[in-house]
Amino acid sequence: MSTVVVVRKNKTACIAADSLTSFGDTKQAAEFIVNSDKIIQFDDFYMGIVGSAAHQLVLKSLFNNHPNKIDFTNQMSIFDSLKQVHPILKEEYFLNSKDEDDDPYESSRVDSLIMTSNGIYGLYSLREVDEYTQYWAVGSGAEYALGAMFSVYDQLDSAELIAKAGVEAGAKFDNASDLPMTSFTVELTL
């Protein structure tokens, strides 16, 4: 499924992800696919997405076709943007939003991490938005990545090196994650 991480340290933020796509037991390694990057950039933010490979194309198209509905400046603007685009996901992109009986809200079926110059955020399927102070990870390799980043966070000064430790741990121990890794960094303004 993936390993995607975000880290903030010393006025810098980094987002990083592995590059493996899998369909059941079939692996599609980065060497076989042109678009193996799980991080998309739009305007002034980066978004690392886990789950269905279709999410990448859908969100790229959504951002390009409806840029006026996207504002990822802070936690509330991200949430409000998600409220605006959810009907578009259903109507234009055929989002299958049939929920489990115990879900309190209709799911977007998208889990991702977001990095902007204002901070690092997690975005989850029921439109939960969390802002993180140090680091976080999503995907099937998240537990390994969180452990690795926890163990090096106080020892390393570089957000990029901390993120690298997280993705490498996910790729090493999670069978749905693999290298090479892609990463992006920004200087934080807040």
* Mean pLDDT, range 114-132, rounded to an integer: 93
* % of the chain with per-residue pLDDT over 90: 67
* % of the chain with per-residue pLDDT over 70: 94
* Mean pLDDT, range 35-48, rounded to an integer: 92
93 or 99: whose pLDDT is higher? 93
Residue-level pLDDT at 51: 85
91 or 170: whose pLDDT is higher? 170
| Average pLDDT across the chain, whole number | 90
Q: How far apart are CA 103 and CA 108, in angstroms?
A: 12
174 or 35: whose pLDDT is higher? 174
Q: How many CB atoms lie within 10 A of CB 175?
A: 13
**Pair 79, 129: CB distance under 8 Å:** yes
Contacts of 151 (CB under 8 A, 6+ apart): 165
pTM above 0.85, yes or no: yes
Determine the residue type at 182: T
Contacts of 89 (CB under 8 A, 6+ apart): 58, 62, 95, 97, 108
Query: Which range among 28-37, 59-68, 106-115, 130-139 has the greatest average pLDDT?
Result: 130-139
The token pair that represents 166 in the structure block: 């997280």
Q: Which of 66, 88, 70, 68 is nearest to 79 (CA)?
A: 70
* Mean pLDDT, range 38-65, rounded to an integer: 91
Q: How far apart are CA 97 and CA 69, in angstroms?
A: 20
Query: Which range among 87-96, 123-132, 158-167 has the greatest average pLDDT?
Result: 158-167
Q: How far apart are CA 157 and CA 152, in angstroms?
A: 9
Classify residue 10 as exposed, middle or buried by CB count within 10 Å of its CB (0-12, 13-18, 19+). Answer: exposed
Tens digit of each residue's pLDDT (9 = 90 or more) over 129-188? 999 999 999 999 999 999 999 999 999 999 999 999 999 999 999 999 999 999 999 999
* Mean pLDDT, range 123-128, rounded to an integer: 84
